[in-house]
Structure 1
Amino acid sequence: MSVRVGHTPDMDDAFMFCGIATGAVPMRGLQFTHVIEDIQTLNRRAFNAELDMTAISAASYPALSDAYWVAAVGSSVGQGYGPLVISVSPRSPEELSGRRIAVPGRYTTAFMLLQLAIPNVQPVEMAFERIPEAVLKGTVDAGLVIHEWQLTYRDAGLLPVLDLGVWWQQQIKLPLPLGLNVVKKSLGRETARRVATVLRDSILYAFAHQDDALAYAMRYGRGTDPARSRQFIGMYVNEESLTISKPCREALRVLYQRAREASLISTVPRLGIIEPLKV
């Protein structure tokens, strides 16, 4: 059975999908067709139900809960760290209310968190890799960075304004779910569980063969050195990637409740989770 699977060209996704991409794990009667695009594009594809399994921003799930289950595996979860607001000069978060801030997509969890932390910003949507340059050139007042830019922004001479992961930890005291994998309900529960199982096995392979998986992931590292690549992957591929914990499930509920209270979403979705098969 052919399954269209979406994931990003980022190191954390590449690390998790290494076992699948290299043929190192059994495919359980499935043939994956990979669709590799940035997270904002994958969010849009999911809105159109184009993909059988895909990475999405956790912020997008309320609009997808009728058509997709959340896979219990493959999540990207921060623990006291997350997307960063950066600028060229020292600023307080309060100074950015009403200001132009470059964001990596209106459907991203990073942008949802930004709106909760600093209301009334003026978002300027652009590809995430262009954000630091836009901040340096002064075309925006600040930028919201994700992926490896969370570790390398100082190399470009940029300064931190607000770590949204720290803000979340101080406010909520729970993990910060940023990315999810979702599986289309129309596949049926049995097939959906097989799909989730293949991804689970690929993540287990990566943990068991970290040097090989890191070497594979660094093909997508956009020049990030090995030490920072390993650090970034370790931040977002962890135990939460193998199973969504109870605290993480509660964090999703709180995120959606806060977003509903701020009128960012219309309803708090029921969290439908599809589990992989037992090992």
Structure 2
Amino acid sequence: MRELTFGFSPCPNDTFAFHALVHGLVNAPARIRPVLLDIEALNRRAHDGAFDLTKLSVGAFAAAGARYTLLRSGAALGMGVGPLVVAREARSLAQVARGRLAIPGRETTAYRLLRLAAPALTEVVELRYDRILRAVADGEVEAGLIIHESRFTYAEHGLVQVIDLGDWWERTTGLPVPLAGICARSDLDATLRVDLERAIRDSVQYAFDHPAASRDYVRAHAQEMSPEVCARHIALYVNAHSLDIGDEGLAAMQRLAGGAGQWYGYTA
């Protein structure tokens, strides 16, 4: 059977959602070889079409261009799921935007949202997402743009929220926050892409139906995350949109990413 590479993150929402697919628990048109990388690393690797399937930030869709086509299953979007800006003390977004601000990558959806909310942004420092809280707490930067499980743990570092960019997006657009989607290389056969989309949807449904099945796999990649944070992370980012983006979700992606390239492959 043909083997295909699938790049996704080691975060609990991905390992939970795709556990069944990579372990052969659902029917798939090929063997799936997982490659687990930080989301910004996945965004950068997509420039060269490194993986057959890959998770991509919606903020990276334009850079990926026509190399990838969005699949309707496996996405991360919803209400109340957006990135946060945090600092050591209460400040306005305009104030922290004038200082050094750590970001998890220039192609992340988080950074795209930040640039929309704070167009006067000055100096940004790229750090891996799990280093940002410490950099803010230690005074290396004035504020940080945080994603993933950091939204649950920033207070433990003595930090306060400056703005919830997800809330800002939802109030501004009335749409869910489109964080990331699963994309297939556009040079894959169209029938194969449809079959892969179905297999990913089946994997997400399997995860919902058998939530304990992926526990060891999730924990193996969750680094120092507590079981409670893992559970909150999964509950926040894996939802009905992960089964199918839906017309509203696709409209949100198109609103944020624009029409660059041929990534969407569907019309809302």
In the superposition, the TM-score normalised over structure 1's length comes to 0.90
- Tell me which residue corresponds to 2:42: 42
- Tell me which residue corresponds to 2:71: 71
Gaps of at least 5 residues in structure 2 are none
Larger displacement relative to structure 2 (140-149 or 213-222): 213-222
Instruction: Tell me the distance in 1 between the aligned counterparts of 2:250 and 2:63.
Output: 17
Amino acid at match of 1:16: A
CA-CA distance at 1:215 after TM superposition: 4.3
Q: Deviations over 1:225-245 (max 9, x none)?
A: 223221211111100001111
Instruction: Tell me the distance in 1 between the aligned counterparts of 2:260 and 2:34.
Output: 30
CA-CA distance at 1:78 after TM superposition: 3.0
CA-CA distance at 1:193 after TM superposition: 1.5
Answer yes or no: is the 8 Å Cα contact 2:11–2:222 preserved in 1: yes
Amino acid at match of 1:242: L
- Tell me which residue corresponds to 2:92: 92
How many residues of Structure 1 are paired with residues of Structure 2 in the alignment? 264
Gaps of at least 5 residues in structure 1 are 258-266, 275-279
Specify the SS of the correspondent of 1:167. Answer: helix
Alignment of 1:34-183 (within 5 A): 34-121=34-121, 122-183=123-184
Structure 2 residue 240 is matched with structure 1 residue 239:
yes
Amino acid at match of 1:120: A
Alignment CA distance shift 1:81-1:6 (3 Å): closer
Q: Deviations over 1:62-84 (max 9, x none)?
A: 22231211010010003033111
CA-CA distance at 1:188 after TM superposition: 1.3
CA-based RMSD: 1.6
CA-CA distance at 1:271 after TM superposition: 5.1
CA-CA distance at 1:187 after TM superposition: 0.9
CA-CA distance at 1:269 after TM superposition: 4.6
- Tell me which residue corresponds to 1:249: 250
Instruction: Tell me the distance in 2 between the aligned counterparts of 1:108 and 1:239.
Output: 22
Instruction: Tell me the distance in 1 between the aligned counterparts of 2:139 and 2:159.
Output: 12
Instruction: Tell me the distance in 2 between the aligned counterparts of 1:14 and 1:135.
Output: 28
In the superposition, the TM-score normalised over structure 2's length comes to 0.93
Instruction: Tell me the distance in 2 between the aligned counterparts of 1:253 and 1:55.
Output: 17
Specify the SS of the correspondent of 1:222. Answer: coil
- State percent identity of aligned pairs: 34
CA-CA distance at 1:130 after TM superposition: 0.8
Structure 2 residue 196 is matched with structure 1 residue 195:
yes
Alignment CA distance shift 1:62-1:139 (3 Å): same
Picking from 252, 272, 277, the partner of 2:264 is 272
